[in-house]
Amino acid sequence: MTGLVARDVALSLGGRVVLHPSSAGVAPGELVGLIGPNGAGKSTLLRVMAGMQPPDQGQVVLEGRPLATAGRTWRARTLSFLPQDEVPPPPMHVADLVALGRLPYRAHPDRARDGAAVTRALAEADLLALRDRPASRLSGGERARMRLARALAVEAPYLLADEPVAALDPAHALAVMDVFRRLAAGGAGVVVVLHDLMLAARFCDRIVLMHAGQVAAQGRPADVLTDAALRAVYGVEVRRIEDAVIPWRLAGATE
Ligand SMILES: Nc1ncnc2c1ncn2[C@@H]1O[C@H](COP(=O)(O)OP(=O)(O)OP(=O)(O)O)[C@@H](O)[C@H]1O
């Protein structure tokens, strides 16, 4: 069976249910947007899907193999995870840090192939001009692109990225979403946590909408990003412009 599938995964942390039984997945060739308000459980579900956080119940299956028992190297080569948390970068140059994405291949290093993957990833994240800069001397958005480049350098068939465009300017955000689209067009399965509903509507094949620790809806953007759903989940009224969806004013606010 192809794809990455989380089936009825649930999780409690610190005595609180943070994820009620939820199911979500991504197929090869698909770009899935994971959206929802702050605290809805997006990062939690993504971490569970990435195998970073074992669920209390339910199962994650990657290409037919339960993630919990899959080999570490196979997993690291098959699934690349970009966490949301920003940690200060180690004292390394940008290209060396991005090259850490090739660690899953260290048992049989192929310098030419590894070098090409790093250069491709740097180019996709628009970092070629900064490749020899110490990572500590990057701006916040540049650091976010460097972390993305490291995840891209794995060249895994599945990529799970938690808010990869949150710190990016509009041009870089669009360029990164284009990269995700190209990855999906090449057969990869990509799940990306987004707060920008316009990007979600414009780029994603499918949307998983989370609310209060569970999946409230999933499907094609037009079917999920309905006025009623956005009002119920985000508390915003929306105004539609062509295909785009933007929060226009807080629900309940007077004109
Ligand atoms: N270690 C923890 N212990 C207790 N509660 C936690 C822990 N980690 C996260 N939570 C809670 O779980 C809920 C879901 O958190 P999560 O990070 O998945 O939300 P999110 O949808 O990614 O939010 P955001 O958009 O703000 O990044 C939140 O209410 C959060 O406070």
The Å distance, Cα 155 to ligand 1 centre, comes to 28
Instruction: Of 120, 116, 112, 176, give the one whose Cα is nearest residue 145.
Output: 176
The Å distance, Cα 213 to ligand 1 centre, comes to 9
Residue 243 has pLDDT above 70, yes or no: no
DSSP 24: E
pLDDT tens digits, residue range 5-18? 999 999 999 999 99
Residue 254 has pLDDT above 60, yes or no: no
Report the pLDDT averaged over residues 207-232: 95
pLDDT of residue 178: 94
Burial class (CB in 10 A: 0-12, 13-18, 19+), 13: exposed
Range scoring the smallest mean pLDDT among 27-36, 88-97, 242-251? 242-251
The Å distance, Cα 236 to ligand 1 centre, comes to 21
Closest C-alpha to ligand 1, atom 11: 18
Kindly list the structural domains of the chain, giving each domain's residue range(s) and its CATH number in brackets, ordered by start. Answer: 4-250 (3.40.50.300)
- Three-class secondary structure of residue 253 per DSSP: coil
The number of C-alpha atoms within 13 Å of 232 and in the hemisphere containing its C-beta is 12
Alpha-carbon distance 39 to 73, whole Å? 32
Note the helical H segments in 36-110. Answer: 42-49, 72-78, 94-99
Token digits of residue 253: 């606010």
DSSP 127: -
Best of 9, 42, 52 to mutate for ligand 1, by most ligand atoms within 8 A of CB?
42
Kindly state the greatest CA–CA separation across the chain: 63
pLDDT tens digits, residue range 60-82? 999 999 999 999 999 999 999 99
Alpha-carbon distance 106 to 62, whole Å? 22
Of ligand 1's listed atoms, the one at least distance from the Cα of 18 is 12
Residue 39 has pLDDT above 80, yes or no: yes
